[in-house]
Structure 1
Amino acid sequence: MTKKLVLIDGNSIIYRAFFALPLLNNDKGVYTNAVYGFTTMLLRILEEQKPTHILVAFDAGKTTFRHSTYKEYKGGRQKTPPELSEQFPLVKELLDAFNIRHYQLDQYEADDIIGTLSRQGKKNDFEVAVISGDKDMLQLISDKVTVNVTKKGISEVEAYTPDYLLEKMEITPEQIIELKALMGDNSDNIPGVPGVGEKTATKLLKQYETLENIYDHLDEVSGKKLKENLTNHKEDAFMSRELATINCESPIEVTVDELSYSGYTSENVAKIFQDLGFQSLLSRVGADEVIEETKEELEDLDYTIVDKVSSDMFTGEEALVIEMLSDSYHTAPIEGIGVTNNEKAYFIPTEVAIESKEFKQWAEDSNSKKIVFDAKQSVVSLLKKGIHLRGITFDVLLASYLLDPSENNHDIPAIAHRIGLKAVRNDEEVYGKGAKLKVPEQDVLAEHVVRKASMLRKLEDKMEKELREHELYTLLKELEMPLALILAEMEHTGVIVDIPRLEEMGAELKQRLDEVEQEIYELAGETFNINSPKQLGPILFEKLGLRVIKKTKTGYSTAADVLEQLHNDHEIIAKILLYRQLGKLQSTYIEGLLKVVDKRTSKIHTRYNQALTQTGRLSSIDPNLQNIPIRIEEGRKIRQAFVPSEKDWIMFAADYSQIELRVLAHIANDEKLISAFKKGEDIHTQTAMDVFHVDKEEVTSNMRRQAKAVNFGIVYGISDFGLSQSLGITRKEAKLFIERYLESYPGVKAYMDDIVQEAKHKGYVTTLMNRRRYLPEITSRNFNLRSFAERTAMNTPIQGTAADIIKQAMIDLHEKLRDENMQARMLLQVHDELILEAPREELEKLKEIVPAMMENTVELKVPLKADYAYGNSWYDAK
């Protein structure tokens, strides 16, 4: 059997994954994009390479033995962004779950570990595969060692053998270090010889083979300047070769034989995938088998499948489960209903329940108490059948979410398992998933649904006690549960979409795209594929001669951040950015919205996630109406398609002005912030004055824009890296901005210090309404995990309180509209904005009621401010 040794350059792959993928968070708020990219790469390696032996090597620290040769080695590298550093421990945990050895050695780099092991592997007749994003590794190639270099981020690899290297680069593996000696390496700050690039270095090596031979024949080298540079920088060249040479005899304490690999246990890997939120990868590690292996023997359950509902089935407080196989409950059918009381359990087939006057009477009786799982889903699903569920006294889903918002699984079996109760079977075990998803025989379905309903009663007792102990019961009963019923009505009502207008906008966008396309061609002087970086790059950087910001392995980078930096260099850049924005509007929003409109009613019924974010904010899916872009006019115009559902009605929108900054002023008790808000000053202008040390009259629009980014960045715990990315400035400038901000607002600085200490003492932080977020990593010995938890401690009370305030405002407004007997109704919530529809004759009353409810829902040290607008569409209500 062939022995296969796979050696992975951990640092290189993680870095490439981080910058290749957008910043992603799991439901705990931890950044996971680098871990996700690394994981997909690792799975592909295991599938394709089928290693018998494997190791992932990491750099041990900033200082290596090479620094004694050249102290500036790797100098000038920017500090690793905290969003990336905090992912390294997660990658190592992931490798442990895969049973894959990882190793690092003080004073040595991952390259040296890999070089040493590849030489061991070669001597012991292993077939060796090295995986890295660094072409320095090409010096290790031999008849037994293949170096796989990642390209296109990490989505593809290029396998280098001696023959392929000679064909591709016209040099041998041994000449890679000679190449680096001549041309240097900016990323490692290896100087090389000035003026010598890859082309010149390759030409010299093809002619003279080695560095020594080049200098032995220096008189023969053509080009006066080249000869002069080679002469003056001979020491640099030889030193550069030494720096670029991988140490294949490093004093590592691991041998090839210790790296044997016999695979991973699906259960262990599935667990960490679930923790990280990598649901899409579960099937790739055999998670189906894990579910099958962990079946529990369940207790016997006595239940009745009823063919006729009678009123004596309901004794006063029932647990109710309305079973649907899909989260998309607006369109999914009800598969059956489970009802249990203190004495008996029943399964009611859907048709039996819907056609029964007794069931409808019980469901709509607000005096008949009901324990449910997911009140919002339960209400919406029955509203579709003409039944308005009332009398809900406890929602197990929302209770579980409040008790631990960091959990990513709040279904009944998972909650029961965490609380220590005998679990019901997982839905996937009963129904299957994906293409295998199906409704089982009625007996199997009935037992599963009734078991869920029975479990709700047991869960309520335990969860209510825990909620009270943690002072969360009031939050559940007075905020989250009333809100769930309001959201259910909003979802069921839906919002009318003017389909012809949306289609018309699609045609207008297509025409505008064609116009912008022609303008780009005129500015470029030729036609080309604007969406192809390979064609766009040469147009911008060769034909038009724009400055090159960044190069990739495949050519010039034309990414959005690069084009933003070139915005003022040529008018074609603005056109290209506009073209991309318009293209996204067309595909994602025009076409996307048309796919989800109910053609019979012309309505869209979005779904609000109430038990998802750790801060308590609502999110919206199917479709996500909170993400319609409004920074360009074409994006704002999409809101023209959202119109009232009745003739002579209007759309009315009200939104909080800078609510998170006002909450920050209150929580931090910062005198300057409080004063600014009380006086009605423009907070961004005030911050610009403080950060840039200028008078009000000297504040430019760009200064205000940057100050605004700092203001909101502070609220979100932004790092200097994050701020530099959003503003297109250096990290040094971003760091200075943040420092000046904190100097200007000492109350904010004190709050940040105090809240971190409080979190370390308690293990959690709270909002003004006592919502909790647990931060177990706040006392971690790992600097990166601890730093992330500290940033989270600072921003969660602000974001969470703002989320709680708008939720309370929705409850207050809903009650007020009902008390005033008004027809106006809430349709949508988009972050800090509420959108209503109402008869035109109620407009004057709305102008009075809506801002009053929003501004007086809580009392802060600064005034809350709500702006409103109205019109014939959501677009007009701006």
Structure 2
Amino acid sequence: MTKKLVLIDGNSIIYRAFFALPLLNNDKGVYTNAVYGFTTMLLRILEEKKPTHMLVAFDAGKTTFRHSTYKEYKGGRQKTPPELSEQFPLVKELLKAFNIRHYELEQYEADDIIGTLAKQGKENNFEVEVISGDKDMLQLVSDKVTVNVTKKGISEVEAYTPDYLLEKMEITPEQIIELKALMGDNSDNIPGVPGVGEKTATKLFKQYETIDNLYEHLDEVSGKKLKENLTNHKEDAFMSRELATINCDSPIEVSINDLSYEGYPNQEVATIFKDLGFQSLLSRVTTDEMAEETKEELEDLDYTIVEQVHSDMFTGEEALVIEMLSDSYHTAPIEGIGIVNDNQAYFIPTEVALDSIEFKKWAEDPVKKKIVFDAKQSVVALLKKGIHLKGVTFDVLLASYLLNPSENNHDIPSIAHRLGFRTVQYDEEVYGKGAKMKVPKQEALADHIVRKTDVLRKLENKMDDELQEYELYSLLKELEMPLALILAEMEHTGVLVDVPRLEEMGTELKKRLEEVEQEIYVLAGEQFNINSPKQLGPILFEKLGLPVIKKTKTGYSTAADVLEQLEPQHDIISKILLYRQLGKLQSTYIEGLLKVVDKETSKIHTRYNQALTQTGRLSSIDPNLQNIPIRIEEGRKIRQAFVPSENDWIMFAADYSQIELRVLAHIANDEKLIAAFKNGEDIHTQTAMEVFHVGKDEVTSNMRRQAKAVNFGIVYGISDFGLSQSLGITRKEAKKFIERYLESYPGVKAYMDDIVQEAKHKGYVTTLMNRRRYLPEITSRNFNLRSFAERTAMNTPIQGTAADIIKKAMIDLRKKLLEENMQARLLLQVHDELILEAPKEELEKLKEIVPAMMENTVELNVPLKADYAFGNSWYDAK
């Protein structure tokens, strides 16, 4: 059997994981993002490499034997963020659970430990695999040692063998040290020789092989400045080589024989995963036997498997679970139903419930109180079976989302475990995951569903208190829960699609694509694969001679941002950009929409994500109707296929005008912004007047365009870099532009400063309706993380309040339509727009009701404004 030694550079991988992943907390408030990233990589290594021997090496401290050579070694490094420091002990606990040895040695670095063991492995005929994020390790590469360097954070690795190193970097493993001698290394504060980069150093070593030989032939080196630098920094070069050399004879007290690895104990690893909150990784280490053992550990729960539903089963205050194994609840089957009250717990097989008049009567009784998980899913699932669920008094999913908006796992077991209730297994432990997912026998299924239902009641009690404490109770009860029921009706109703018209558009688009394709060939002077960057690059940058803006590892970059910069220089660029847009419309939207049309009803039933975004905005999937591109006419035309579902009905659309800027004016209480909106001024013209110090008649279209960019940029927390990119101006000009804007609107400047300080003090920001967004990164020592959190602190109250306003408008409008006994119904919500369908005879009433409800749903310091349009399709209602 081949002996395989895997050596992991612990510090390097943990650092990379920390900065590659957003900050994550477990239920104890401990940061775990670096541990999570390290764990995913570790599992992949164990699965792919199958080591027989293994060790994770760590740095022992700040001082090493290299400091005696050069005191400033690693001197420029920033202090490790405390959010990262606290995760190192967790990684070591994790390794203990995995039965993987870790080791560190005073005065030596992880590199030296790995180098020494790699040498031992090579001498003892082991296959050695080194895993690191540090290219210094490439000096260890040999016929027996492969060095895997992480890239794209930690999601991918590049495996270096001697042949691959020579092909990739044109040097040998031994020359990696020579390379560092001349280049130096900023991250380790190794000086090297000024003015010598990788390209120059590689060229020198191709000719002279080592720095010893280079200095022996220094007179032959061309380039006055290069020769001067090499001469003046000779001592630095040789010292840098010494600093960069891994000590492969370190006095370590472990040998390969101590590193035997025979796999990990699943139970111990599963336990630590649960403690860390790594639910998504549990299924990778959980065996069938463990799932049974876990089930046996749970306390017995008495329940009845119902053969016939009776009215005396219900007390009038029940917890209810409609169990479905797929998020696609429009089409997924109901696997079973759980009902628990103070008297009894019941599992009702699906067919028993759906065939029962008593169940339907109870479900549709608004007086009978129901605690549910995901009211929207529950209502839609039962509506498909002819039952309209009413009387929902608490939604555990929405409560969890409001309390923990940054949390990704909002399923019942995850919520229960976070709040300390260990009475239910994770779904993966019962159903499996991916290809192994299956519905167990009725007894196991019933037990799991009833446990999930039972814990809902415990969760309601605990969450109720937390919602009250954090002033989120009214947000749940008065906004999110009423909205969930409206969204459920909208999803169930669906929107009718004119399938022949959509297919016709597909044909038209295909024809237009072919026309643009031919136009590109004429401009290029030859035919080629437009979708291939390898073929497109040479056409643009060699044949047509356009300036090269960016190169990739495989050649010229033809990414969208590159092409947009080149657009003014050649007619072919705009054609290529149009070709790509049309291609996406054809594949993603025409073909994509046709795939999700219900074959029987010709309707599309999108699903709204109500518990996803941290700002509170809704998003939609299957299909994502909010992303249909409308900047080009071909994209807008796709809306022609969305039509009323009844004869002599029309589509009616209303959208808020500049709602986020109006919210900004209110929150910032800026006098000039408020006055502009109250006087009905064009806000972009007004901003241009302020920023450019010109009169209204002097504002040019370009000035207004720039003012518009900065207006909306402020809302989304734009930086000078972001503004420079969107306007095609220098970063310095963009910075000055933002400064002039903030001078013009001092209330906005004060708001931005104050909200950041408030976020640092509280750890979160809120919308006008008290929705919270937690920002643990706001005090991070990492500049990028802190800057992002500061921008988020500024824009979340604006975006979140705008999202809350349109949600409330939907509730008010739905209530008004019912009061007026109108047939008109809400179909879609897309960003700041509401789309309805209605009989033509209700049109005049809609013109009054819809804008009135939207404009008066909340009271701000500025008026809200809603515009409307109508027609025979969504496209016409513009």
TM-score range normalised by the length of the shorter chain:
0.7 to 0.9
> Given residue 870 of structure 1, which amino acid in structure 2 is its aligned partner?
F
2:654 corresponds to: 654
1:221-271 CA-partner distances (Å, limit 9, x unpaired): 8xxxx5666656654785895697472468999976579876776437745
1:564 corresponds to: 564
Structure-2 change in CA distance of 1:478 and 1:599 (3 Å): same
Cα shift at 1:741: 3.5
- Between the two proteins, what is the percent identity of the paired residues? 74
Distance, in Å, in 1 between the alignment partners of 2:421 and 2:198 is 68
Structure-2 change in CA distance of 1:151 and 1:747 (3 Å): closer
1:607 corresponds to: 607
Q: For structure 1, which runs of at least 5 residues remain unmatched after alignment?
A: none
Contact 2:651 2:872 in 1 (8 A): yes
2:451 corresponds to: 451
> Given residue 519 of structure 1, which amino acid in structure 2 is its aligned partner?
E
> Given residue 348 of structure 2, which amino acid in structure 1 is its aligned partner?
I
Distance, in Å, in 2 between the alignment partners of 1:731 and 1:67 is 42
Distance, in Å, in 2 between the alignment partners of 1:606 and 1:273 is 35
Choose the corresponding residue for 1:120, options 113, 116, 123: 116
Contact 2:14 2:38 in 1 (8 A): no
1:394 corresponds to: 394
Q: Please tell me whether residue 765 in structure 1 is matched to residue 765 in structure 2.
A: yes
1:821-845 CA-partner distances (Å, limit 9, x unpaired): 2111100111211111111222222
Cα shift at 1:492: 0.6
Structure-2 change in CA distance of 1:731 and 1:850 (3 Å): same
2:588 corresponds to: 588
SS in 2 for 1:626: helix
| More off after superposition, 502-511 vs 769-778 | 769-778
2:673 corresponds to: 673
1:735-756 CA-partner distances (Å, limit 9, x unpaired): 5444443333222222233233
Q: CA RMSD in A?
A: 4.8
Structure-2 change in CA distance of 1:243 and 1:718 (3 Å): farther
Q: Please tell me whether residue 317 in structure 1 is matched to residue 320 in structure 2.
A: no
Distance, in Å, in 2 between the alignment partners of 1:620 and 1:26 is 25
1:146-176 CA-partner distances (Å, limit 9, x unpaired): 4445679977655444455456666444445
Structure-2 change in CA distance of 1:426 and 1:137 (3 Å): closer
2:425 corresponds to: 425
Q: Please tell me whether residue 632 in structure 1 is matched to residue 635 in structure 2.
A: no
1:743 corresponds to: 743
1:337-379 CA-partner distances (Å, limit 9, x unpaired): 3333332333333333323333322322222332322221222
> Given residue 322 of structure 2, which amino acid in structure 1 is its aligned partner?
I
| More off after superposition, 441-450 vs 556-565 | 441-450
Contact 1:412 1:452 in 2 (8 A): yes
Q: Please tell me whether residue 53 in structure 1 is matched to residue 49 in structure 2.
A: no
Distance, in Å, in 2 between the alignment partners of 1:328 and 1:179 is 55
Cα shift at 1:602: 0.4
1:5 corresponds to: 7
Structure-2 change in CA distance of 1:58 and 1:24 (3 Å): farther
| More off after superposition, 294-303 vs 848-857 | 294-303
> Given residue 364 of structure 1, which amino acid in structure 2 is its aligned partner?
E
1:415 corresponds to: 415
2:493 corresponds to: 493
> Given residue 394 of structure 1, which amino acid in structure 2 is its aligned partner?
F
1:756-782 CA-partner distances (Å, limit 9, x unpaired): 343444443322122233445555677
SS in 2 for 1:371: strand
Structure-2 change in CA distance of 1:359 and 1:753 (3 Å): same
Choose the corresponding residue for 1:267, options 265, 270, 273: 270
Contact 1:685 1:707 in 2 (8 A): yes
Q: Please tell me whether residue 360 in structure 1 is matched to residue 363 in structure 2.
A: no
Structure-2 change in CA distance of 1:400 and 1:203 (3 Å): closer
Q: Please tell me whether residue 338 in structure 1 is matched to residue 338 in structure 2.
A: yes
SS in 1 for 2:799: helix
Contact 1:274 1:408 in 2 (8 A): no
Q: Please tell me whether residue 471 in structure 1 is matched to residue 471 in structure 2.
A: yes
Cα shift at 1:654: 1.0
> Given residue 543 of structure 1, which amino acid in structure 2 is its aligned partner?
K
Contact 1:66 1:243 in 2 (8 A): no
Contact 1:95 1:101 in 2 (8 A): no
Distance, in Å, in 1 between the alignment partners of 2:471 and 2:197 is 69
Structure-2 change in CA distance of 1:96 and 1:547 (3 Å): farther
Distance, in Å, in 2 between the alignment partners of 1:659 and 1:214 is 67
1:863 corresponds to: 863
Distance, in Å, in 1 between the alignment partners of 2:572 and 2:104 is 48
Distance, in Å, in 2 between the alignment partners of 1:718 and 1:307 is 61
Contact 1:92 1:102 in 2 (8 A): no
SS in 2 for 1:568: helix
Contact 2:57 2:114 in 1 (8 A): no
1:501-560 CA-partner distances (Å, limit 9, x unpaired): 222222222222222222222222222222222222222222222212122222222222
Contact 1:86 1:788 in 2 (8 A): no
Cα shift at 1:805: 0.7
SS in 2 for 1:328: coil
Q: What's the TM-score once normalised by structure 2's chain length?
A: 0.83
- Where do 1:279-294 residues align within 5 Å? 279=280, 283-284=283-284, 294=294
2:374 corresponds to: 374
Structure-2 change in CA distance of 1:202 and 1:131 (3 Å): same
> Given residue 434 of structure 1, which amino acid in structure 2 is its aligned partner?
G
Cα shift at 1:631: 2.1
Contact 1:606 1:621 in 2 (8 A): yes
1:780-834 CA-partner distances (Å, limit 9, x unpaired): 6776655554443333222221111111100110111111121111001112111
SS in 1 for 2:627: coil
| More off after superposition, 642-651 vs 669-678 | 669-678
| More off after superposition, 385-394 vs 233-242 | 233-242
Contact 1:338 1:348 in 2 (8 A): yes
Cα shift at 1:491: 0.7
Q: For structure 2, which runs of at least 5 residues remain unmatched after alignment?
A: none
Distance, in Å, in 1 between the alignment partners of 2:404 and 2:168 is 55
Cα shift at 1:603: 0.7
> Given residue 545 of structure 1, which amino acid in structure 2 is its aligned partner?
G
Cα shift at 1:599: 0.6
Structure-2 change in CA distance of 1:469 and 1:533 (3 Å): same
> Given residue 584 of structure 1, which amino acid in structure 2 is its aligned partner?
K
SS in 2 for 1:577: helix
Cα shift at 1:467: 2.6
Cα shift at 1:588: 1.7
Distance, in Å, in 2 between the alignment partners of 1:271 and 1:452 is 18
Distance, in Å, in 2 between the alignment partners of 1:327 and 1:699 is 51
1:306 corresponds to: 306
| More off after superposition, 386-395 vs 657-666 | 386-395
Distance, in Å, in 1 between the alignment partners of 2:743 and 2:389 is 54
Structure-2 change in CA distance of 1:303 and 1:512 (3 Å): same
SS in 2 for 1:546: coil
2:483 corresponds to: 483
Distance, in Å, in 1 between the alignment partners of 2:60 and 2:689 is 45
Distance, in Å, in 2 between the alignment partners of 1:746 and 1:36 is 43
SS in 1 for 2:535: helix
Contact 1:94 1:272 in 2 (8 A): no
SS in 2 for 1:826: strand
Distance, in Å, in 2 between the alignment partners of 1:488 and 1:560 is 38
Cα shift at 1:567: 1.9
Contact 1:5 1:54 in 2 (8 A): yes
> Given residue 544 of structure 1, which amino acid in structure 2 is its aligned partner?
L
Cα shift at 1:116: 4.4
Distance, in Å, in 2 between the alignment partners of 1:65 and 1:667 is 54
Structure-2 change in CA distance of 1:27 and 1:760 (3 Å): closer
SS in 1 for 2:655: strand
SS in 1 for 2:817: helix
> Given residue 267 of structure 1, which amino acid in structure 2 is its aligned partner?
A
Distance, in Å, in 1 between the alignment partners of 2:349 and 2:322 is 10
Distance, in Å, in 1 between the alignment partners of 2:380 and 2:699 is 51
SS in 2 for 1:637: helix
Cα shift at 1:314: 2.9
Contact 2:283 2:428 in 1 (8 A): no
Number of residue pairs aligned between Structure 1 and Structure 2: 851
